[in-house]
Amino acid sequence: MHELGITRNIVSIVTEKAQGEQVRRVTIEIGKLSAVLPEAIRFCFDIVSQGTVVEGAELEILEISGTAECRTCGSQFELEQLYGRCPCGSADITRLTGEELFIKQMVTA
Amino acid sequence: MCTTCGCSDTANPRVTNLKPGHTGETVHTRFDHSHPHDDHHHHDHDHRHEHGTTVPIEQPILAKNDRLAERNRGWFLGRNIVALNLVSSPGSGKTTLLERTIQDLKHDINISVIEGDQETLFDAERIRKTGCPVVQINTGAGCHLEADMLARGLETLQPPSNSLVLIENVGNLVCPALFDLGEHAKVVILSVTEGEDKPLKYPHMFKNASMMILNKIDLLPHLTFAVSKCLEFAHLVNPGLQVIQVSATTGEGLHNWYDWVTSQIKLSKQQGVR
């Protein structure tokens, strides 16, 4: 249940940036290969934000699909899991997207 | 119970000193606020946000942990300490491997240990019996060690310069993968009693590790575990992963593990000189 710790980090960073202003919306990016469950983040967000300027804010989660580039043939393809093979058969790949854990922006009241 | 504030809060992380001369006193540490040099960024200029405005943040969620991990890394580098983060599922034989490693290497290398568990001092007690300085971190509600917990543990442990710190993370193949502690390398331990598909089931851990120890190989004759299949899966997730097969109980293959540890120490010395 690392989502609890991750959500604490989100609320902590946003609270610091808000400088006392009430926060209306928080937008984060979560990669589909990141081992972080968006639903668990939502669940924790409401609890962790209680008593802070983030309490009651809407949490917008942008889920980022996984993509990779093959180091053997150079082609780019989608990744459903953290590992995978290029259509050419090589497992020597560079993951391009899908591992994001990123706070994009907030809207203050 | 915490000897600092007397609270009996078991949900928060605690550090217990089991170094020689200490009786295992527990300190309740407020990890959220414990670091005097946290990156609190005070803006000199006054920029209050306008009502209803969108404020860009553009920051990794784990930025704070990553900063503290970098600080730990610098702390280790400055003292020429090699820190290895040992991760696995519960019951893979991490503590047995540690006990054996300490017994076999303690005359050549100065070793100390940070033990991470949700609860109990059992593992730290086992390490203490080897004569090795050890500090237990109990994570309470947490399922993994974070960089600030390690920093607190190190403050108590005070490992000497030119030494090896072995960090036994909480037994969990998911969460510890995400949290950099500032270690030199992650070592993932997988026992042959667990099933060869673990690297695919928990790919993050195997992707982030530099070394995989396949433990309990003395039991292979009694199992259907396919070593070649397991290694194929591990390398699918992490083509560069090094693998050593050992039995921490019989000692088989351990010399390869010791050679690797020694090579990491040599490597770190060279980096320090550079």
CATH 3.40.50.1000 fits B63-273, yes or no: no
| B116 contacts B170 by C-beta, under 8 angstroms | yes
B273 pLDDT band, cuts 50/70/90, is low
Question: What CATH number has the domain bearing residue A9?
Answer: 3.30.2320.50
Give the range of the structural domain holding residue A43, as residue numbers without chain letter: 3-65+98-108
| A13 contacts B64 by C-beta, under 8 angstroms | yes
Question: Is residue A71 one of the residues assigned to a domain?
Answer: no
A7-37 pLDDT, tens digit per residue, is: 999 999 999 999 999 999 999 999 999 989 9
CB nearest B174 (choices: A35, A92, A108): A35
CB nearest B143 (choices: A2, A8, A36): A2
**Is the model's pLDDT at B50 over the cut of 90?**
no
SS3 B145: coil
CA distances from B207 to A6, A41, B212, B249 (A): 20, 23, 10, 27
B70-106 pLDDT, tens digit per residue, is: 999 999 999 999 999 999 999 999 999 999 999 999 9
Residue B112 DSSP symbol: E
Contacts of A19 in chain B (CB under 8 A): 48-49
Question: Is residue A82 one of the residues assigned to a domain?
Answer: no
SS3 B106: coil
Contacts of A102 in chain B (CB under 8 A): 58-61
- Residue in B with minimal Cα distance to A14: B57
- Complex ipTM value: 0.90
- The verdict on A101 touching B (C-beta cutoff 8 Å) is yes
Average pLDDT over residues A88-108: 94
A50-63 pLDDT, tens digit per residue, is: 999 999 999 999 99
Question: Is residue A9 one of the residues assigned to a domain?
Answer: yes
B129-179 pLDDT, tens digit per residue, is: 999 999 999 988 778 999 999 999 999 999 999 999 999 999 999 889 999
Question: Is residue A40 one of the residues assigned to a domain?
Answer: yes
Position B3 scores a pLDDT of 41
Question: Is residue A85 one of the residues assigned to a domain?
Answer: no
Position B36 scores a pLDDT of 37
Interface test with B, best of A15, A41, A83 (most B CBs within 10 A): A83
Question: Is residue A93 one of the residues assigned to a domain?
Answer: no
Position B47 scores a pLDDT of 52
**Is the model's pLDDT at B187 over the cut of 60?**
yes
B251-272 pLDDT, tens digit per residue, is: 999 999 999 999 999 988 887 6
CB nearest A5 (choices: B51, B58, B142): B142
Average pLDDT, chain B: 87
| B203 contacts A81 by C-beta, under 8 angstroms | yes
**Is the model's pLDDT at B11 over the cut of 70?**
no
> Residues 42-61, chain A: which have Cβ within 8 Å of B?
none
Average pLDDT over residues B42-50: 49
| B101 contacts B108 by C-beta, under 8 angstroms | no
Structure tokens at B140: 């309470």
CA distances from A106 to A25, A43, B48, B51 (A): 5, 19, 14, 12
Question: Is residue A17 one of the residues assigned to a domain?
Answer: yes
Which residue from B196, B243, B250 is spatially nearest to B219, judged by alpha carbons? B250
Interchain proximity A1–B175, CB inside 8 Å: yes
Q: How far is CA B208 from the centre of its chain?
A: 13
Interface test with A, best of B61, B172, B178, B181 (most A CBs within 10 A): B61
Which amino acid type is present at position B273? V
Domain boundaries, chain B: 63-273
Contacts of B144 in chain A (CB under 8 A): 2, 5
Question: Is residue A55 one of the residues assigned to a domain?
Answer: yes
Contacts of A16 in chain B (CB under 8 A): 40-41
Average pLDDT over residues A44-48: 95
Scanning chain B, the segments in alpha helix (DSSP H) are 63-78, 94-105, 122-128, 147-157, 198-201, 203-208, 227-237, 254-273
In chain A, the number of structural domains is: 1
Position A70 scores a pLDDT of 95
Position B38 scores a pLDDT of 40
**Is the model's pLDDT at B16 over the cut of 50?**
yes
**Is the model's pLDDT at B30 over the cut of 60?**
no
Q: Tokens 């820190």 belong to which residue?
A: B83
